[in-house]
Chains A and B, each alone.
Chain A
Amino acid sequence: DGGITQSPKYLFRKEGQNVTLSCEQNLNHDAMYWYRQDPGQGLRLIYYSQIVNDFQKGDIAEGYSVSREKKESFPLTVTSAQKNPTAFYLCASSTSTGEDIQYFGAGTRLSVL
């Protein structure tokens, strides 16, 4: 059953703590993306990766870091430098060819304690 798996579903961060959100896909997609969703705002791109071992900053990369060591995995770390981390985080993947439709995981809701 192919898809995109995000974990955990809910995550709490303490002051000064780094937390890592997991994203795994078994769709054999080359490209992966991280978005942040806040109430009343559209999805905003944090980071994206078009191929293994390469990734680029999106529109709001400050306070976040990523890695792409395997095609299937694109974890996002929310660092202590991100002062307003409370949001719904969505991971997506796409083929990078043809219609290049992005498919989304179920999301991780991050809150600050």
Chain B
Amino acid sequence: GQNIDQPTEMTATEGAIVQINCTYQTSGFNGLFWYQQHAGEAPTFLSYNVLDGLEEKGRFSSFLSRSKGYSYLLLKELQMKDSASYLCAVRDWGTGFQKLVFGTGTRLLVSP
């Protein structure tokens, strides 16, 4: 089966660094995605990892360890606008179709 776990909620202060973890179990892993979703809006793509290691994009970085079934999203120099939910999604071959399996999301609250 498929299972994705991420914390429900996190809080942090403006200017700080926060790490959002995601652990997963899938039968046919083929990539991990992070999306940002502001309340009532569409998820927007942040990052994609398919090989082990760190991918950096400005203030955001994403790390993957396939052997541990683990990823994290690192947000630096937090801004108030970073308050949102962060969705971890794993692409799984499963039944021959590469579908995305989403975690429940981590709600990040950034305070002044």
Contact = CB atoms under 8 A, between A and B. Distances in A.
- Interface residues of B: mostly helix, strand, loop or mixed? strand
Contacts of B101: 42
A103 B97 CA distance: 18
Given A45-B99, A48-B99, A58-B99, A101 B45 contact: yes
Nearest to A4: B42
A106 B38 CA distance: 11
A78 interface: no
A96 B33 CA distance: 15
Contact of B42 (A40, A48, A58, A107): A107
A101 B102 contact: no
Contacts of B98: 100
Given A40-B104, A48-B97, A103 B91 contact: no
A42 B4 contact: yes
A100 B44 contact: no
B31 interface: yes
B104 to A, nearest CB: 5
Contacts of A101: 33, 45, 48
Nearest to A44: B102
Nearest to A100: B98
Contact of B105 (A42, A44, A58): A42
B43 interface: yes
Interface in A9-58: 40-45, 48, 50, 56, 58
19 contacts: A42-B102, A43-B43, A43-B87, A43-B100, A43-B102, A44-B102, A45-B100, A48-B97, A90-B42, A90-B43, A100-B98, A101-B33, A101-B45, A102-B33, A102-B45, A103-B45, A106-B41, A106-B42, A109-B40
Interface of A: 40-45, 48, 50, 56, 58, 88, 90, 99-107, 109
> Closest 7 interchain pairs by CB?
A42-B102, A104-B42, A43-B102, A42-B104, A106-B42, A104-B43, A42-B103
Interface of B: 4, 31, 33, 35, 40-45, 48, 50, 87, 89, 91, 97-105
